[in-house]
Chain A
Amino acid sequence: MIEEKHILSILVDNEPGVLSRISGLFSGRGFNIESLCVAETMDPQVSRVTLVTNGNPPVIEQIEKQLNKLINVIKVHDLTGKEYVKREMALIKVVAKSEHRAEILRTVDIFRCKVVDVSPEHYTIEVTGDEEKMQAILNLLKPIGIKEIARTGMIALFRNSK
């Protein structure tokens, strides 16, 4: 069976220990977490966890069921295969020697990114986009020299108001 990447959007009670219940479930049952993002929703009692995982269909089915079984989990949506928007943000610190500075800025322009910090040796670039865009800009900047990178992991929402 084919392993597939799935984006799960999970609404949970905004309580201490809930994240540990979710991560413990994944480690205890041998499921994968590729990335994970948590933050409060409009309702301060509810948080949204956006979790990217992979597995074959029976594994994904188990993951969803096991998540639903947790008392603090309110709702689990599998966005994969549905209409949704997804974004990731990264801060990339690029080595910016004088001969590369113009090229970096051109790339930033093409990808509609932002330079958020400048120093004599570095640019720090803010990038937002999906995985393909992230990969593309990283591929371009890598030969120039990436000093450090921080990524948020994927967040996603249904297109219609579900």
Chain B
Amino acid sequence: MKLTGAQIMMKVLKEEGVDTIFGYPGGAVIDIYDELEKSDIRHILVRQEACAVHAADGYARAGSRVGVCLVTSGPGATNTVSGIASAYMDSIPVVIFTGQVPTHLIGNDAFQEVDTVGITRPCTKHNYLVKRTEDLARIIKEAFMIAKSGRPGPVLIDIPKNVGVTAVDYKPVKKVNLKSYNPTYSPNVKQLHKVVELIKNTNKPMIFAGGGVILSGAAKELTELARKTQIPVTTSLMGLGGFPGTDPLWLGMIGMHGTYRANMCTGECDLLIGIGVRFDDRVTGKTDAFAANAKIVHIDIDPTSIRKNIPVTAPVVGDCKITLAKLNQLLNKEDLGNLKKKRKKWLDQIQRWIDTQPLAYKQKDIIKPQYVVETLYKLTKGKAIITTEVGQNQMWAAQYYHFDQPNHFITSGGLGCMGFGLPAAIGAQLACPDKLVVDVAGDGSIQMNIQEMTTAVQCGLPIKIVILNNGYLGMVRQWQQLFFNKCYAATCLDCAPDFVKLAEAYGAEGLRATKPEEVETVLKKGLASKNPVIMDFRVDREECVYPMVPAGAPVTEMLLV
């Protein structure tokens, strides 16, 4: 059977179970779009290509599947780079199709030509330039396999125009065979026995979990481990929801804006079990001082994560879910003794830290951003999917919304890419049509990709945008306040659009609150709407995120409220 490259692409995408593609058309992909239109795959037209990747990212996270996008060559491809880099840092499975000029023009500086594979090489898990239509089916199959297996990540496929047009004999590819790619899922049992011994022989253990727990679907196994061994749990930003945020063993988030108790624990603990984490600098602060008195267990599927930043006592390479299930099995056979008694001193110490320094803010007659997030949490009973932009809004969302389930907190963690939240909310809403999806935003970052309001309106997606509007690029302003003598260089945004009118201009609803007593009413009204809504909360302009660990300081040395 002779099929064109574009037809082959649709066939393989169907085989891979793809039902939604985020994209933006152009000359180099017009043939592919022609086939896409004839297929039953849903296409979501974003308004800028980075948002196609962010939306696919949100779709992948909320729906636990591979996100797919399609953009044209040249500027279409270069625009995707921020989205790809963000997905790469957060290990999100996304497959990106980019158009390319015809093979005979490659290297000639043709119209809308860039070296897409060269540009994206350092920010993809892998990428391909398809030179022959005969290779297309195999490459797409490989790309999906690579994107979702091992430590997931974005994979890009660059398709020259003639490869999409040429018709060849199509032979379905049944099996992907990559001799050099073989991620380790099952942990070394010897290492796990070491971990069991460490758990038995230490008195002040803590668990530090991260995005790996969410990605491998290990939240249940992690919760079982923590409760069985009575070990308190903190997570990184990426790990929020991996352990119930309302559990008594929950320490809150760790790191630069982590809770006092979580950060103090790292200084005092004698065993730190890192699970699906990479000991990022925003977590560890000064690495020499991080968990300096502790033996460290590090479980991760990516061997490069282990001993990259922190020396490790017991490295375990494996998938978090499989590893934790095995560890739980081993622990079931052990006599752990009277844990309540054994852990009492340690858990009492943690309670004292909670009592002396809880997460807090001072309520005044002006709206506090934390109060908005708290009220949002109360009204949604913690059930909403929260996406965030980047900066203070992101940290307050992480601190004051308590996540009991995985895949409910979607944020650009590693790259810290402003403009992520709105397109990610669109993706999340499409993956979970019955869920309430809220983007917690700042007035700065929402303007990075505000054009996606059109996408939300066009697709009838009832996403809610909560703008914590302080008229500043708040996080940078906070650093300027604390470390640069309040010289607010380029961070004041006192010239801004009227977000209520802007919402209406896009065909969405706009609401505003300027006093604390209006917050609940506005949230209630906005959340109840069946339309996309922008809620503009005029918050305390110079509120800071606390606790804060200054960059490069030990995490136990926090600036507090």
Q: Which residues of A contact B (CB under 8 A)?
A: 13, 17, 20-21, 24, 28, 58, 61-62, 65-66, 68-69, 71-75
Contact = CB atoms under 8 A, between A and B. Distances in A.
B292 to A, nearest CB: 18
Contacts of B304: 62, 65-66, 69
A17 B121 CA distance: 9
A74 B178 CA distance: 10
B180 A21 contact: no
B17 interface: no
B307 interface: yes
Contacts of B179: 74
Contacts of A68: 303
B27 to A, nearest CB: 25
Interface string B104-141: 00000000000001100110011001000000000000
A71 B121 contact: no
Nearest to B151: A69
14 contacts: A17-B117, A17-B121, A20-B118, A24-B121, A28-B122, A61-B307, A62-B304, A66-B304, A68-B303, A69-B303, A69-B304, A72-B180, A74-B179, A75-B180
Contacts of B180: 13, 71-75
Given A71-B146, A71-B181, A73-B180, 4 more contacts: A17-B117, A62-B307, A68-B303, A72-B180
B121 A20 contact: yes
B509 interface: no
B114 to A, nearest CB: 15
A62 to B, nearest CB: 6
Nearest to B126: A71
A21 B121 CA distance: 7
A17 B106 CA distance: 15
Contacts of B118: 20
B183 to A, nearest CB: 10
A65 B305 CA distance: 9
Nearest to B179: A74
Residue among B129, B178, B303, B304 with the highest chain A CB neighbour number at 10 A: B304
Contacts of B121: 17, 20-21, 24
Contacts of A28: 122
Contacts of B146: 71
B181 A24 contact: no
Contacts of A61: 307
A65 to B, nearest CB: 4
A21 B178 CA distance: 17
B308 interface: yes
B107 to A, nearest CB: 12
Contacts of A58: 307
A70 B377 CA distance: 42
B536 interface: no
A46 to B, nearest CB: 10
B117 A69 contact: no
B258 to A, nearest CB: 26
B126 A24 contact: no
B302 interface: yes
Residue among A62, A71, A72 with the highest chain B CB neighbour number at 10 A: A71
A45 to B, nearest CB: 10
B303 A71 contact: no
Contacts of A24: 121-122
Across the A-B interface, give the 3 residue pairs with the lowest CB-CB distance, nearest first: A74-B180, A65-B304, A71-B126
A56 to B, nearest CB: 12
Interface in B421-470: none
A92 to B, nearest CB: 36
A61 B117 CA distance: 28
Interface string B179-219: 11100000000000000000000000000000000000000
B491 to A, nearest CB: 30
A68 B182 CA distance: 10
B280 to A, nearest CB: 15
B1 to A, nearest CB: 28
A59 B235 CA distance: 27
B308 A62 contact: yes
Nearest to B142: A71
A24 B118 CA distance: 10
Interface string B156-194: 000000000000000000000011110000000000000
A69 B88 CA distance: 14
A42 B57 CA distance: 42
Contacts of B125: 71
A53 B179 CA distance: 26
Contacts of B181: 71
A157 B491 CA distance: 58
Contacts of A66: 304
A66 B151 CA distance: 13
Nearest to A67: B304
A110 to B, nearest CB: 45
Contacts of A75: 180
B173 to A, nearest CB: 17
Nearest to B146: A71
Contacts of B129: 17
A68 B125 CA distance: 12
B157 to A, nearest CB: 13
Residue among A61, A68, A69, A73 with the highest chain B CB neighbour number at 10 A: A69
A69 B181 CA distance: 8
A72 B304 CA distance: 16
Nearest to A73: B180
B178 A71 contact: yes
A13 B118 CA distance: 17
B429 to A, nearest CB: 33
A71 B179 CA distance: 9
A51 to B, nearest CB: 17
A104 to B, nearest CB: 45
A21 B126 CA distance: 10
Nearest to A17: B117
Nearest to B181: A71
Contacts of A62: 304, 307-308
A28 to B, nearest CB: 5
A72 B117 CA distance: 14
A82 B117 CA distance: 37
A69 B129 CA distance: 20
A20 B303 CA distance: 22
A131 B180 CA distance: 32
Contacts of A21: 121
Contacts of B307: 58, 61-62
A24 B180 CA distance: 19
A158 B117 CA distance: 34
